Amino acid sequence: MITIQSKVFSIDHVLNKIRADKTQIGAIVTFVGCVRDFGEDNEKKLIAMEVEHYPGMTEKVLQDIESKAKKRWKLSATEIIHRVGRLDLSEPIVCVAVASKHRDDAFEAARYIMDFLKTEAPFWKKEITSIGNYWVTDKYSDHIQKSSWNDDIEKI
Amino acid sequence: MKINILFFASLKEIFGQESLVLEIPKNISTAHDLLDFLAENKKGPWLKLLKRKSNVRVAINQSIQDWTKKISDGDEIAFLPPITGG
């Protein structure tokens, strides 16, 4: 399930939701991305983060990533939550939770979903700092990581 | 033909608006042609966008496409700066 929201989410809530009424689940892997207090250059001190997205397209892309992961691994359930708007330091930005019978499927699928989310889902982060605000630039390493899955998700 | 254009993040700031509706000549057939046409005719932020084209992706009707993809009347065309979610 895909959720885009501005309010903070709780991991407990995500875990309860993903395992609700599913007694065959043997493994749940969760990834949570948080707002750091330092910028991309490791120097700027952040005050907050702002996240913008493309409503409509974001959900479509995330649903496509989720359904490709479900085809590739045996998954019992997935939850993808991404926040938008202004986020304070240490707050969670994104959560990807993947449930499966056995851990390998959940570990690999969680990484796959995050690798594609970071490079394909239309979100943009802006660092709010004491010396100005800066749009985050994309990282070459994220694109390499996505390519390593050898899976074309450009066309949805 | 009429197209709806959307801007996000840094491009929204460069253009000072998040969307606009444009009437363009029928002979403009691809996203690449569209950007060339607008940079030549409207200049300003369109020239900046053209310069950054290698770092910008185009989405047509909410799906990322090649710049050579055909565009049609009524399309929603979004210019996407490098994606940085997660």
Q: Where are the domains of chain A?
A: 2-147
**Residue B85 falls within a domain, yes or no?**
no
Residue A60 one-letter amino acid = K
A2-147: CATH topology: Aldehyde Oxidoreductase; domain 3 (3.90.1170)
Domain that holds residue B17: 2-80
- Residue in A49, A32, A36, A57 with CA at minimum distance from that of residue A135: A49
The pLDDT assigned to A138 comes to 87
Residue numbers in B near A53 (CB within 8 A): 85
**Residue B44 falls within a domain, yes or no?**
yes
Whether residue B75 has pLDDT greater than 80: yes
**Residue B40 falls within a domain, yes or no?**
yes
Number of domains in chain B: 1
Q: How confident is the model at residue A155 (pLDDT cuts 50, 70, 90)?
A: very low
Domain with residue B9: its CATH number is: 3.10.20.30
Which tens digit of pLDDT belongs to each residue from A100-138? 999 999 999 999 999 999 999 999 999 999 899 999 988
Residue numbers in B near A57 (CB within 8 A): 59, 62-63, 78
**Residue B39 falls within a domain, yes or no?**
yes
Whether residue A154 has pLDDT greater than 70: no
Q: In what order do the strands lie in the sheet with B57-60?
A: B19-23, B2-7, B76-80, B57-60, B63-65
**Residue B86 falls within a domain, yes or no?**
no
The pLDDT assigned to A76 comes to 97
Q: How confident is the model at residue A143 (pLDDT cuts 50, 70, 90)?
A: confident
d(CA A67, CA B58): 23
Distance from CA of A35 to the nearest CA of B (A): 10
